[in-house]
């Protein structure tokens, strides 16, 4: 019989709020942009039942509640001998006879006689009346007396020693995981321990990836004069997967406004989110913004950040459109800062907040432009006094090499005029976004 303690959550009744990205400022600061996303976005996908074995990385659509305790029975935590603490001298120890045997899956059926120990193995149900276990390597054999052997249990043990109590890990009726939890391998172990065979999870968010520009050529294509290979799409696919969504690459859109408009309209009908790279600024050949203005609602944030200032958010009906810059470093940084948590939230999860660690700087930046928040590529180094972070020497948004050597992002606030060696700076490891360490 399948466990029935997870009920299927119904379809999401509400989709996107109209003007969910709207604001009244010409240029938003980083914290202001995040606040809009955090407060106005909500899950947009339905729920489905999936096997437990396929649930890693998925978002739980209903709370998981234990209908029975874990462990179900009080049991031995080690191989040894169980005994009743009331029959034991905790100061001097005691010699006791051994009668009976209990193994995992094979409990002792009868209650032991007073004053005797039972040979027991890890995971075995504790015999009735016994409340402590001595490890087998701590006892001394005192020979046999007819059919019974005798052991010496040394002093110093406490009541409950080496015993796992029923419900010690999970109590009956306890909520293990709340709705919106992104499931990790250890979470699957916990859910399996309460007998779950299937889970109710949010359907994966569907994301279309669109590259733009006459100069951009998909990988494998022939480069012409001034051409560049599309480095953004192959990078975005695993980043989107790491945010719990599924992605589809729709190729490169040429710099033709009607074509861009038609393809975006088609994508908006088929996907939850459309992510474009390039064409997000105000140039004559940047058609994403103009197409979005005609098809839906645009909120060109012009964020006060570096890199990534010209990125935009908008919506076409119930589809979110994210216009990322064209340079790979800006695409990568903006995705982590804004799109990664956005996809998590729209896909049913709670808004994720990456942790920041204060680390001493191994570099100096004596004179910087204030008024914008900057995110520099940083590399961790072991020093005699602990971890410190160094800055990648070059700041160009097209230098993929900086992303490859970096361990995370150094975050510099809007009003910080300079950074000196040994100053504490905020560091966000890439591992906070599920990206493996080098």
Report if residue 419 sits inside a domain. Answer: yes
Tens digits of residue pLDDT in 114-144: 999 999 999 999 999 999 999 999 999 988 8
The pLDDT value given to residue 217: 86
Tens digits of residue pLDDT in 296-344: 988 766 889 999 888 888 999 999 999 999 999 999 999 999 999 999 9
The pLDDT value given to residue 6: 38
Report if residue 5 sits inside a domain. Answer: no
The tokens describing 352, both together, are 């994720």
Domain boundary among 279, 313, 346: 346
Total tally of structural domains belonging to the chain: 3
Report if residue 116 sits inside a domain. Answer: yes
Which of 98, 73, 72 shows the shortest CA–CA distance to 83? Answer: 98
The pLDDT value given to residue 288: 83
- With residues binned 3-state (H G I as helix, E B as strand, rest as coil), the percentages for the chain, rounded to 5, are 20, 30, 50
Same domain for 330 and 258? yes
End-to-end CA distance of the chain: 45
Chain centre distance of CA 361:
28
Same domain for 387 and 412? yes
Same domain for 342 and 216? yes
Report if residue 65 sits inside a domain. Answer: no
Report if residue 389 sits inside a domain. Answer: yes
Residue 82 CB contacts under 8 Å (≥ 6 apart), including other chains: 76, 102, 117, 118, 120, 126, 127, 130, 132, 133
CA dihedral 361, 366, 372, 378 (to 10 degrees): -30
Domain boundary among 295, 322, 346: 346
Same domain for 149 and 209? no
Same domain for 139 and 264? no
Report if residue 25 sits inside a domain. Answer: no
Alpha-carbon gap, residue 330 to 324, rounded angstroms: 8
Please give the helix or strand (H or E) that residue 387 lies within, else none: strand 386-391
User: What CATH number should be reported for the domain holding residue 397?
Assistant: 2.40.340.10
Alpha-carbon gap, residue 400 to 386, rounded angstroms: 28
User: What CATH number should be reported for the domain holding residue 154?
Assistant: 2.170.190.11
Name the residue range of residue 210's domain: 30-45+204-346
Same domain for 361 and 342? no
Domain boundary among 293, 317, 346: 346
Q: Contact, 88 vs 129, CB < 8 A?
A: no
Locate tokens 């004559």: which residue? 284
Which of 42, 59, 47 shows the shortest CA–CA distance to 342? Answer: 42
Q: Per residue in 220-234, is it b (16+ CB within 10 Å) or e — as a string?
A: eeeeeeeeeebbbbe
Average pLDDT of adjacent 10-residue blocks, the chain of 438 residues: 37 57 73 90 95 97 96 98 97 96 96 96 98 97 84 97 97 96 97 96 98 87 84 97 97 89 95 89 66 84 86 90 93 97 97 97 94 96 97 86 96 96 98 94
Alpha-carbon gap, residue 64 to 50, rounded angstroms: 14
Same domain for 222 and 291? yes
Whole-angstrom CA distances from 26 to 39, 299, 369, 374, 426 are 20, 10, 19, 19, 27
User: 77 burial class (0-12, 13-18, 19+ CB within 10 angstroms)?
Assistant: middle
Same domain for 340 and 374? no
Whole-angstrom CA distances from 41 to 26, 97, 110, 318 are 21, 68, 60, 12
User: What CATH number should be reported for the domain holding residue 322?
Assistant: 3.40.980.10
Same domain for 244 and 332? yes
Residue 354 CB contacts under 8 Å (≥ 6 apart), including other chains: 336, 428, 432, 433
Same domain for 134 and 214? no
Report if residue 198 sits inside a domain. Answer: no
Locate tokens 């009743």: which residue? 84
Q: Contact, 217 vs 230, CB < 8 A?
A: yes
The pLDDT value given to residue 4: 31
The pLDDT value given to residue 219: 86
Same domain for 366 and 335? no
Report if residue 153 sits inside a domain. Answer: yes
The pLDDT value given to residue 302: 80
Residue 266 CB contacts under 8 Å (≥ 6 apart), including other chains: none
Whole-angstrom CA distances from 7 to 55, 62, 204 are 16, 7, 19
Same domain for 395 and 340? no
């Amino acid at each position: 019989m399948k466990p029935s303690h997870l009920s299927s959550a119904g379809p999401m009744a509400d989709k996107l709020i109209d003007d969910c990205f709207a604001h009244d400022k010409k240029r938003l600061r980083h914290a202001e942009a995040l606040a809009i996303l955090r407060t106005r976005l909500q899950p947009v996908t339905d729920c489905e039942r999936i096997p437990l074995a396929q649930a890693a990385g998925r978002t739980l659509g209903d709370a998981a509640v234990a209908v029975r305790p874990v462990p179900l029975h009080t049991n031995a935590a080690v191989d040894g001998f169980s005994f009743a603490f009331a029959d034991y001298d905790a100061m001097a120890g005691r010699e006791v006879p051994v009668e009976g045997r209990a193994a995992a899956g094979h409990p002792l059926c009868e209650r032991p006689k007073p004053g005797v120990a039972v040979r027991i193995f890890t995971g075995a149900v504790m015999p009735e009346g016994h409340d402590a276990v001595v490890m087998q390597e701590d006892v001394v054999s005192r020979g046999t007396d007819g059919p019974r052997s005798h052991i010496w249990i040394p002093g110093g043990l406490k009541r409950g020693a080496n015993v796992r109590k029923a419900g010690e890990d999970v109590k009956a009726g306890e909520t293990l995981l709340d709705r919106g939890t992104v499931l990790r391998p250890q979470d699957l172990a916990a859910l399996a321990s309460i007998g779950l065979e299937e889970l109710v999870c949010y359907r994966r968010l569907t994301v279309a990836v669109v590259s733009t520009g006459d100069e951009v050529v998909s990988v494998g294509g022939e480069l012409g004069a001034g051409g560049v290979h599309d480095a953004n799409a192959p990078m975005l696919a695993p980043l989107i997967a790491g945010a719990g969504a599924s992605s589809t690459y729709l190729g490169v859109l040429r710099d033709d406004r009607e074509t861009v408009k038609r393809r975006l309209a088609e994508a908006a009908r088929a996907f939850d989110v459309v992510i474009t790279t390039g064409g997000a600024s105000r140039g004559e050949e940047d058609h994403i913004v103009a197409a979005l203005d005609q098809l839906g609602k645009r909120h060109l944030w012009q964020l006060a950040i570096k890199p990534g200032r010209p990125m935009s958010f908008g919506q076409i009906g119930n589809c979110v459109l994210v216009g990322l810059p064209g340079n790979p470093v800006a695409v990568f940084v903006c995705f982590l800062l804004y799109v990664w948590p956005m996809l998590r939230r729209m896909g049913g999860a709670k808004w994720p907040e990456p942790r920041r660690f204060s680390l001493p700087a191994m570099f100096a930046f004596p004179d910087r432009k204030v008024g914008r928040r900057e995110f520099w590529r940083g590399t961790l180094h072991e020093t005699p006094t602990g971890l410190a972070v160094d800055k990648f020497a070059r700041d160009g948004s097209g230098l993929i090499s900086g992303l490859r050597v970096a361990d995370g992002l150094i975050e510099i606030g809007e009003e910080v005029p300079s950074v000196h060696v040994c100053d504490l700076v905020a560091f966000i490891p890439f591992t906070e976004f599920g990206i493996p360490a080098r």
